[in-house]
Amino acid sequence: MKLATWNVNSLKVRLPQVIDWLGSNQPDMLCLQETKLINDNFPERELAAIGYQSFFAGQRTYNGVAILSKHQGSEVVTGIPDFADEQKRVIAATYGDLRVVSVYVPNGEDVTSEKFTYKLRWLPALTKWLQQELKQYPKLALLGDFNIAPEDRDVYDPKAWEGKVLCSQPERNAFNGLIELGLSDSFRLFEQPEKSYTWWDYRMMAFRLNRGLRIDHILLSRELASSCISCTIDKTMRKQERPSDHAPVMVELGT
DNA sequence: ATGGTAGAGGATCTA
């Protein structure tokens, strides 16, 4: 079983790359963020044509999340229950006994911003909901763009980013709140290359210089973490023409 | 310290 996540930064622009990547990698599920599409415009038929069922929650211009799967899903939830939020950032679905949650955590813009306050309200709401979900679904995978680099080794220049949005202590504390639910950062279950990142700014040749951050994650509940075989970042798509600024991340789970 | 790029939408906002 392979689970993946990818912030595509517009599914309209990236659909050919998504179809190409699904064909090459054959994940069972792919979680998407920043689809930037209203539901009426979601390319459901194109994805069904290559064997993927879609669940999606979109809006105009910004945000938007989805789960694509080779398997029949059910129990779809969009948004964090009991948390008023017009922004489409969460979708969850069940596949057999596997609960899959795709999240696009608010960016926060800057630690002095109103958007940062929203980010720090949003994360505990997510955490509280997932605590309930874990009771119902011991096999839970939380995938997405967390907009948080958990540790300094996830940042190309920790000194320059110290205290900045995506790296600040309040954000890292919120990330640890998710870990304390019993979720594991699957990437760190394995030995990994140094300077592994999932996002590089489009500007200043950041990708070529590997000036990136690891902010896209796959967190696994205990039951799933024990069967996790690998977690990898696929930089190949970031090298293509007109790439997303994020790379896909994928885990493989054993039986 | 500033501004660089990309996407959406058609001027800025978001990242």
- Using the structure, give the distance in angstroms from the CA atom of A206 to the C1' atom of B8, rounded to a whole number: 23
Over the stretch A19-43, which tens digit does the pLDDT of each residue have?
999 999 999 999 999 999 999 999 9
Exposure string over A143-160, b if 16+ CB within 10 A, otherwise e: bbbbbbbbeeebbbeeee
CA atoms of A192 and A111, how far apart (whole Å): 30
Is residue A111 pLDDT above 90, yes or no? Answer: yes
Contact A210, A247 (CB under 8 A): no
The nucleotide closest to A106 (CA, C1' atoms): B15
Other C-beta atoms closer than 10 Å to the C-beta of A165 total 19
Q: Residue A17, CB, less than 7 Å from strand B? A: no
Other C-beta atoms closer than 10 Å to the C-beta of A91 total 26
Give the mean model confidence (pLDDT) for residues A148-156: 98
* Active site (annotated) includes residue A197: no
Q: Residue A196, CB, less than 7 Å from strand B? A: no
Scanning A165-226, the segments in alpha helix (DSSP H) are 169-179, 222-225
Contact A144, A102 (CB under 8 A): yes
All residues at 6 or more sequence positions from A192 whose CB lies less than 8 Å from its CB, including other chains = A231
Is residue A255 pLDDT above 90, yes or no? Answer: no
- Using the structure, give the distance in angstroms from the CA atom of A204 to the C1' atom of B4, rounded to a whole number: 6
Tokens of A109: 């813009």
The secondary structure element, H or E, covering residue A48 is: helix A44-48
Is residue A7 pLDDT above 90, yes or no? Answer: yes
